[in-house]
Chains A and B, each alone.
Chain A
Amino acid sequence: MKPIRYLEIEGKSRGYWGLVGLLGLLVLAGLGGAYYMEHNGHWVTGMNNQIVWGIPHVFALFLLVAASGALNVASIGSVFGRVMYKPLAPLSGLLAIALLIGGMTVLVLDLGRPDRLIVAMTYYNFKSIFAWNILLYVGFIAVVAVYLWMLMDEPMTAYSKPIGFFAFFWRLVLTTGTGSVLGFLVARQAYDTAILAPMFIVMSFAYGLAFFLLVLMASYKWSERPLGDVTVSRLKNLLGVFVGAVLYFVLVYHLTNLYMAKDWGVEAFVLLNGGVYTAMFWLVQIIIGGVVPLILIYYPTQSESWTTVAVACILVVVGGLAQMYVTLIGGEAYPIQIFPDQDVVSSTFFDGQVGTYAPSLPEVLLGVSGIAIALIMVALAVKVLRFLPASLADEVVDPHHKQASAASA
């Protein structure tokens, strides 16, 4: 196995600046959307007093979950000692930080009072999982930044294993916190379950790895650097395991609810008669985001094609966004059960009725800008710092490659 050499990308091509320009425009559009919402008040969005978290939160939660998952590639190298993953660790850490900042930005800009960010940083109610998350997110950036330093600064590399272990532990706690934002809520039928914490961890594995694979393949294709099939194949097989695990958790979540009579209503809503939420659950989350990627990943004749892998990754991301939409907004739309054994005949506040929500353009722009913020950070960072190995060809990354070739010859 040859020593790994990291190099900045040249970043002078029209394609590069076109990408940066496009992402920049998306970021500006998102900021414009946020300004419009804050200036006029949230009534100009699709959100209301029942659907209080809308599409910005869907993107924000997705990005925060994906961020912790993106770090997994580095963790597999540092914590579990898999040599092949080590060259990928710097990009993994960078993407983790970038996705987290993208998610946090969306979250903050959707606040009713984003100007009071300093209040959120100085007043803490430690019984609130949200308050914990503020510390966990900010801490994650700091821990992963130190981890990157240890990984990328030659004299410090000996420390990368313990800090990598610590970062892995931190990311597990972080995603537990993100899942518990909903899991700790007793008010709404769709939440209020501890399974959301481990489920979010497994979701993070899938979303984060899908994102990582897309960024990795795009970076190497566009910078014309060698990326071997061994790396792509290993990562996509791992993605398949994670996608399967997400489906398993979704199954257990719904089976648990279906066993309890009190939750039949919300289950019928999501699985059978919830309109857009039911369609999104079956069609986008389960089929497009779960079953189809699994087929693409494991179908023998197709699965080695990069295009197939890229499509599978994109579908996992789309399915992940749908999963967040169904979980979050579907859970809010289903009416709160204040009077479980009675029907609401009339209420001026829409008690007993399914909440209505149609995302507005500014909200969507703000949400999408979170992804753009993450990607523009990665695009700029790989130009100024040495995050990407000059080559990820099979003979560079795979210690057994030569022996394997020799044996087959």
Chain B
Amino acid sequence: MSDHSEQPNEPRRRFLGIAASVAVAPGLMLFSMAGAKPDAQAVSSKNRWGMLVDTTKCADGCQACVEACHEENGISSRGRPRTDPQWIRAVTLRDRETGRETHLPLMCQHCEHPPCVDVCPTGASFRRADGIVLVDRHICIGCRYCMMACPYKARSFVHENLHDQVPHNPRGKGCVESCTFCVHRVDEGNLTPACVEACEKDGHKALVFGDLKDPNSELHKLLTEIGARHLRQDLGLNTGVRYHGV
């Protein structure tokens, strides 16, 4: 046999290499995702995902969490603030007696007893075993009863046609939506929602995400250490988002 036949030429070898990677890579990628992501195993009530908002660290005028959330989830503005969806918003409060100002982000509070889930006629609003409250947009009929029921005005109705959707967050005109705690990240094992990541990147560290049931989690430790309260505690909803300094 000649040398020529034993040693394929360089271009051919490169071509075969690329072809093999094109054919195999997606499969490998799916395999690795399946390995990392607990898709194969059901969501468990052993976890309860929650968040601490330390308002003493939340900066006046900072919109980092809002921008990051909306970019991550493909939420774009049409310049119509009354009908544009807002999954998270920055709010500044002033105490009526002392005049003390507080800045904080407000989003779905992921209640243990969510009124939005109670009132939803089709069950499109639902709470996962791990505490994340979501909308199944396959069966949301757009009745907006959940928006009437939410004590935090955390939900938005999609008022117009959508463009530039992101693959991990399919949305629909005529359906209701809200913060998902970046569930696509959580399910991949990434416990840093976009808002938390942005806040940390900007050096504020006002947001901490984690497992409320895990005594070793940073969230749990901080809640024990500095304390926090639920918004509208009187309603007894046991929210997943807790606020320190309000």
Contacts and interface: CB of A to CB of B under 8 A. Distances in A.
Contacts of B78: 43
Contacts of B176: 112
Nearest to A132: B121
Contact of B119 (A111, A129, A356): A129
A120 B148 CA distance: 18
A270 B171 CA distance: 37
A52 B144 contact: yes
B2 interface: no
A124 B96 contact: no
Q: How large is the interface on A (under 10, 10 to 19, 20 to 34, 35 or more residues)?
A: 35 or more
Interface string B104-143: 0010000000010111111110000000000000011111
Interface in A154-193: 181, 184-188
B147 interface: yes
Interface string A119-134: 1100111011111001
A111 B141 contact: yes
B86 interface: yes
A348 B90 contact: yes
B157 A112 contact: yes
Contacts of B160: 40-43
Contacts of A346: 90-92
A403 interface: no
B42 to A, nearest CB: 21
A408 interface: no
Contact of B139 (A114, A116, A342, A348): A116
Contacts of B153: 49-50, 336, 338, 349, 351
**Chain B contact residues: over half helix, strand or loop, or mixed?**
loop
A50 B82 CA distance: 8
Given A43-B160, A50-B153, A112-B157, A184 B95 contact: no
Contact of A187 (B90, B101, B149): B149
A120 B141 contact: yes
Contact of A338 (B124, B173, B231): B231
Interface in B48-66: 66
B96 A52 contact: no
Given A112-B175, A187-B151, A48 B83 contact: yes
Interface string B171-183: 0111110000000
A347 B139 contact: no
B168 interface: no
Q: Which 8 A-B pairs have the closest CB atoms?
A: A112-B142, A112-B174, A41-B160, A130-B121, A43-B159, A48-B82, A123-B122, A187-B151
Interface of A: 38, 40-43, 48-50, 52-53, 111-114, 116-117, 119-120, 123-125, 127-131, 134, 181, 184-188, 332, 336-339, 341-351, 356
